[in-house]
Amino acid sequence: MSKRLEQLLIFSAPLLVGLLNLFHPMFRPPVYAGLIQHISWWIPLHLLNLVLFPLLGLAGYLLVKDVHNLASVIARVALALFIPLYAAFDALAGIGTGILVRNAEHLAANDLTLVGPMIDSYWSSGTLNAIAALGSMAWMIGMLAAAVAFTQAERRRLVTGLTIVFFLIIGWAQTHLFPTASDMAIPLTWWLIVAGIGVVTLLSAKPRVPTALLVLSAALFGASHVPPTGPLGMLCFLGAAIYLRTNREPQLVNRES
């Protein structure tokens, strides 16, 4: 792949994912009642995401592929896992749920009272939740490892320790603070935790800006791809990519690795 094509993919994938998912429908279960009014856009949106999520994983992979240290290897492995996991989540939760709701649209009211709870059970099934969690974890590990990979050698051990702590904190906040219903407001405490992680990284890492942006992308997009966190996570990834691909400072990483 040519450098120009790599550059185009690295910049365009997060931009397209972020812009597209700004318009992701938000609803509260029961699923049929919440989704039926959005169904004409829901299925095309997730068909597009089925293409864009793998391209996003590839963009992350390409961003770190020329960095030669252990962290970059971990990042590449995690992002390679992110691609099938998040694509499977999109296909099952997005396209699969959309097809069920679309087909249920033509049922009689009595039949819908039986089918509606089945759609809810599918939406909240343990299998879907597990795939979603694994895909999000793969993204978080990929971005946190990428942040370490681009950190200059004298700060790398410190940032490695911080990212391990950040991973645990983000996981705890995701489990205990992040809302489960997509139209519920995200608590201020969650935002403060994420902002604090970004500030600590900014003060500790070198180069500061792209490392902090990659850590924020891990926390934000790892929480959810829907707005506001998904598009904000993509904005952070895009900012880091632009900095790393247009600034000479990260070249020091390769010479010191």
For the stretch 84-87, contacts whose Cβ atoms lie closer than 8 Å and that sit 24 or more positions apart, written own/partner, are 85/131, 85/134, 85/135, 85/138, 86/53, 86/54, 86/57, 86/135, 86/136, 86/138, 86/139, 87/50, 87/53, 87/54
Contact 119, 100 (CB under 8 A): yes
Q: What is the DSSP string of 37-71?
A: GGHHHHHHHHHHHHHHHHHHHHHHHHHHTT--SHH
Whole-number average pLDDT of the chain: 93
Share of the chain above pLDDT 90, in %: 86
Q: At what angle do helices 3-21 and 39-64 cross, to 10 degrees?
A: 150
Q: Whole-prediction pTM value?
A: 0.93
Please tell me what DSSP assigns to residue 187.
P
Predicted confidence at residue 253, as pLDDT, reads 55
Predicted confidence at residue 172, as pLDDT, reads 96
Average pLDDT estimate for 138-161: 97
Q: What number of other Cβ atoms are within 10 A of residue 189's Cβ?
A: 11
Contact 93, 132 (CB under 8 A): yes
Give the span between the Cα atoms of 221 and 60, in whole angstroms: 13
Angle, vertex CA 133, rays to CA 236 and CA 117, nearest 5: 120
Helices (H), the chain: 3-21, 31-35, 39-64, 70-89, 97-104, 109-123, 126-149, 153-176, 188-204, 208-223, 229-246, 251-256
pLDDT in tens, 155-192: 999 999 999 999 999 999 999 999 876 557 899 999 99
Identify the H or E element spanning 124: none
Average pLDDT estimate for 234-239: 98
Domain total in the chain: 1
Predicted confidence at residue 180, as pLDDT, reads 73
**pLDDT confidence of 255, banded at 50, 70, 90?**
very low
pLDDT in tens, 19-59: 999 999 998 889 999 999 999 999 999 999 999 999 999 99
Give the span between the Cα atoms of 254 and 257, in whole angstroms: 5
Give the span between the Cα atoms of 91 and 123, in whole angstroms: 12
Contact 75, 60 (CB under 8 A): yes
Predicted confidence at residue 252, as pLDDT, reads 47
Give the span between the Cα atoms of 48 and 45, in whole angstroms: 5
**pLDDT confidence of 110, banded at 50, 70, 90?**
confident
Say which residue the tokens 């509260």 belong to.
28
Predicted confidence at residue 250, as pLDDT, reads 54
- For residue 220, the enclosing domain spans 3-256
